[in-house]
């Protein structure tokens, strides 16, 4: 915030006075105010120089300054509008004028053009060393010591026996479905409230997704809806081949209830833990409950390899088969021989180096994201119309993304709030659009939690706020202020 007194001048100032005030400020900009203290125009050193060239003397008053309309912005205007104005006129400073006509601030482009993003990569200190080592030893291939070590270190960290590093979380899900025997004509149950990558691999395999609603307690797969789907399937004489349970926004689903149902029907669970690395369910790491489980290291996730994924399981046979399929299904023969179709899905040794460094800071990243969530919740403790994603007592969520819903009572939809925040250069996003509402899946079956669909309501009212582990306190305060401004 600029001290307006320090840059204000009046028409009864001499040219010399004006130059001396200008000298004391780093802005290169003065504000001319009238006798009532109202803003009249901006004055630059160029304006003063022109007066001198026109023959004015240093001791002359500023009466000769032309009366012009300067570029200003009104108090309360959106950052986006201020920035657009600056861009359009190629200026770096813009006075803010109150509704009563006083100058109250001067916006500085370098300060206001800072964008706050939803979730950005956050490197630690060790990543470069692992990558440098890969270069030094020329291990640039999709195999090598970093890949082996990354698999082992991640497996040890979450407490699972085996892991296979692959090119993406999506690739890991695809491999998992293939390993669990999903093929043409099969059906797979899948959480509806998720990113599309949970479901696309079902279609890659020629199978048909059947979507399952969330519960209101965890926003993850509803045991009630899952049970309903199994009962209907049995009545119709079929069973799904796999149940894909997604752990949303850093929080585990209620694994005991869901596993009990899966076990009762003898159907394996594939755990999509792409968003929940570092979280716990009843003290056990998220991503260790499925027959196979999947993590993602995409650029927006809690830790990243810029792109990558991991398939984990206690079953060595499955993980060995995953590595085989991920490297083009090469038979062990002296020549190139194949008896199955495989994929090119193995993670590069360079990216695995990034992953090893990131694993070292995972705990810090989880704590930072949780702190962001708690800062928001604290800041809006007086606003019951904002409801935060609940965290049941059995859950330790990473709060990968801070998610909330806004009640219709605030007189503004979540979409309108997202738009208002975009005007302040703050990136907020809607919750995932449920899969059963996606055009591509419009013909798929869906089982809701109750008469009402929980995921439909969450999608309608929900949003995710900027949640990066590298967010600063002033950035969080900016988001909070922008939300308050929008709600008022
Ligand atoms: C990110 C994500 C994936 C896909 O991971 P990629 O590494 O981007 O392929 C799958 N499922 C969920 C729930 C995700 O959030």
Tens of pLDDT, residues 468-482: 999 999 999 999 999
pLDDT confidence bin for 7, thresholds 50/70/90: very high
Question: Is the Cβ–Cβ distance between 221 and 256 less than 8 Å?
Answer: no
C-alpha span between 452 and 382 (Å, rounded):
29
Residues 277 and 394 in one domain: no
In a domain, 309, yes or no: yes
In a domain, 445, yes or no: yes
Where does a domain end: 309, 327, 359? 359
Residues 278 and 139 in one domain: yes
Residues 383 and 443 in one domain: yes
Between the CA of 197 and the centroid of ligand 1 the distance, in Å, is 6
Q: Which residues line ligand 1 (CB under 6 A)?
A: 168-170, 194-195, 197-198, 246, 272, 274-275, 296, 298, 309
C-alpha span between 174 and 204 (Å, rounded):
8
Dihedral (C-alpha) 438, 441, 444, 449: value to the nearest 10 degrees?
-30
Between the CA of 352 and the centroid of ligand 1 the distance, in Å, is 17
Supply the CATH number for residue 189's domain: 3.40.640.10
- Helix then strand then coil, in percent of the chain rounded to 5, is 40, 20, 40
Residues 304 and 221 in one domain: yes
Beta bridge partners of 463: 404, 430
> What's the pLDDT at 107?
95
C-alpha span between 192 and 434 (Å, rounded):
5
In a domain, 382, yes or no: yes
Q: 42 pLDDT exceeds 90? A: yes
> What's the pLDDT at 25?
87
Between the CA of 287 and the centroid of ligand 1 the distance, in Å, is 13
* DSSP E strands, 297-381: 309-313
Q: What is the mean pLDDT of residues 403-409?
A: 95
Helix (H, G, I), strand (E, B) or coil at 83: helix
Range of the domain at 403: 362-487
Supply the CATH number for residue 402's domain: 3.90.1150.10
C-alpha span between 262 and 283 (Å, rounded):
21
In a domain, 334, yes or no: yes
Contacts of 374 (CB under 8 A, 6+ apart): none
Report the alpha-carbon angle 389-395-398, nearest 5.
65
C-alpha span between 292 and 272 (Å, rounded):
9
Residue of 164, 165, 168, 170 best suited for mutating to test ligand 1, as the one with most atoms within 8 Å of CB: 170
In a domain, 406, yes or no: yes
Residues 97 and 150 in one domain: no
Residues 304 and 449 in one domain: no
Q: Whose CA is nearest to atom 2 of ligand 1?
A: 274
Domains in the chain: how many in total? 3
Where does a domain end: 328, 359, 390? 359
Beta bridge partners of 406: 386
Where does a domain end: 359, 386, 410? 359
Residues 384 and 408 in one domain: yes
In a domain, 93, yes or no: yes
Phi, psi for residue 378 in degrees, rounded to 5 = -60, -45
Between the CA of 159 and the centroid of ligand 1 the distance, in Å, is 21
> What's the pLDDT at 66?
93
Nearest atom of ligand 1 to the alpha carbon of 307: 7
C-alpha span between 167 and 169 (Å, rounded):
7
Number of neighbours of residue 383 by Cβ within 10 angstroms:
14
Beta bridge partners of 313: 162
Residues 350 and 390 in one domain: no
Nearest atom of ligand 1 to the alpha carbon of 197: 10
Nearest atom of ligand 1 to the alpha carbon of 308: 7
Residues 332 and 394 in one domain: no
Q: 227 pLDDT exceeds 90? A: yes
C-alpha span between 80 and 86 (Å, rounded):
10
Nearest atom of ligand 1 to the alpha carbon of 247: 13
Q: 1 pLDDT exceeds 80? A: no
Residues 303 and 184 in one domain: yes
> What's the pLDDT at 175?
98
In a domain, 482, yes or no: yes
pTM for the predicted model, two decimal places: 0.93
Residue of 248, 298, 354, 434 best suited for mutating to test ligand 1, as the one with most atoms within 8 Å of CB: 298
Q: Tell me: the pLDDT tens digits for 143-201?
A: 999 999 999 999 999 999 999 999 999 999 999 999 999 999 999 999 999 999 999 99
C-alpha span between 357 and 125 (Å, rounded):
7
Nearest atom of ligand 1 to the alpha carbon of 171: 9
* Torsion sign across C-alpha atoms 326, 329, 332, 335: negative
Residues 148 and 204 in one domain: yes
Q: Whose CA is nearest to atom 14 of ligand 1?
A: 274
Residues 158 and 220 in one domain: yes
> Of the candidates 367, 156, 397, which has an alpha carbon nearest to the alpha carbon of residue 279?
397
In a domain, 121, yes or no: no
The half-sphere exposure of 173 on its side-chain side, counting CA atoms within 13 A, is: 27
Between the CA of 379 and the centroid of ligand 1 the distance, in Å, is 30
What percentage of the chain has pLDDT greater than the value 70?
100
Supply the CATH number for residue 30's domain: 3.10.580.10
> What's the pLDDT at 28?
87
* Torsion sign across C-alpha atoms 452, 456, 459, 460: negative
Nearest atom of ligand 1 to the alpha carbon of 194: 13
């Amino acid at each position: 915030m600029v001290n307006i007194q320090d840059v204000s001048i009046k028409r009864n100032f001499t040219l010399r006075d004006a130059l001396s005030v200008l000298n004391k400020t780093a802005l290169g900009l003065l504000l001319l105010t009238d006798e009532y203290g109202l803003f009249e125009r901006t004055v630059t050193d160029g304006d003063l120089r022109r007066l001198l060239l026109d023959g004015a003397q240093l001791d002359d008053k500023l009466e000769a300054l032309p009366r012009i309309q300067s570029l200003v912005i009104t108090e309360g205007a959106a950052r986006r509008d201020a920035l657009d104005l600056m861009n359009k006129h190629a200026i770096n400073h813009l006075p803010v004028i109150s509704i009563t006509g006083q100058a109250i601030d001067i916006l500085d482009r370098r300060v206001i053009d800072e964008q706050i993003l939803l979730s950005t990569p956050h490197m630690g200190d060790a990543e470069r060393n692992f990558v440098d080592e890969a270069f030094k030893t020329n291990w640039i291939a999709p195999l090598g010591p970093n890949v082996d070590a990354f698999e082992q270190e991640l497996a040890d960290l979450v407490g699972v026996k085996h892991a296979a590093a692959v090119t993406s979380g999506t690739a890991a899900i695809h491999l998992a479905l293939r390993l669990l025997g999903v093929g043409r004509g099969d059906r797979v149950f899948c959480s509806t409230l998720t990113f599309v990558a949970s479901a696309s691999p079902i279609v890659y395999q020629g199978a048909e997704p059947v979507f399952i609603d969330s519960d209101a307690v965890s926003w993850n797969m509803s045991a009630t809806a899952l049970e309903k789907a199994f009962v209907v399937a049995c009545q119709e004489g079929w069973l799904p081949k796999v149940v894909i349970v997604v752990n949303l926004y850093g929080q585990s689903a209620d694994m005991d209830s869901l596993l009990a149902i899966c076990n009762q029907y003898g159907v394996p669970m594939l755990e999509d833990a792409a968003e929940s690395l570092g979280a716990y369910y009843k003290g056990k790491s998220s991503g260790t409950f499925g027959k196979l489980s999947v993590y993602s290291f995409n650029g927006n996730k809690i830790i990243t390899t810029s792109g990558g994924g991991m398939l984990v399981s206690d079953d060595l046979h499955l993980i060995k088969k995953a590595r085989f399929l991920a490297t083009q299904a090469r038979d062990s023969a002296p020549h190139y021989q194949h008896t199955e179709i495989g994929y090119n899905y193995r993670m590069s040794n360079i990216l695995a180096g990034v992953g090893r460094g990131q694993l070292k800071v995972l705990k810090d990243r989880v704590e930072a994201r949780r702190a962001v969530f708690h800062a928001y919740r604290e800041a809006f403790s007086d606003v019951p119309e904002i409801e935060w994603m609940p965290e049941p007592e059995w859950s330790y969520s990473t709060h990968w993304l801070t998610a909330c819903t806004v009640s219709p009572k605030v007189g503004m939809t979540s979409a309108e709030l997202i738009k208002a925040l975009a005007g302040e250069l703050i990136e907020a996003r809607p919750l995932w659009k449920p899969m059963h509402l996606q055009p591509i899946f419009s013909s798929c079956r869906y089982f809701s939690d109750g008469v009402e669909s929980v995921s439909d309501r969450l999608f309608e009212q929900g949003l995710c706020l900027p949640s990066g582990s590298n967010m600063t306190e002033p950035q969080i305060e900016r988001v909070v202020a922008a939300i308050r401004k929008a709600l008022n």
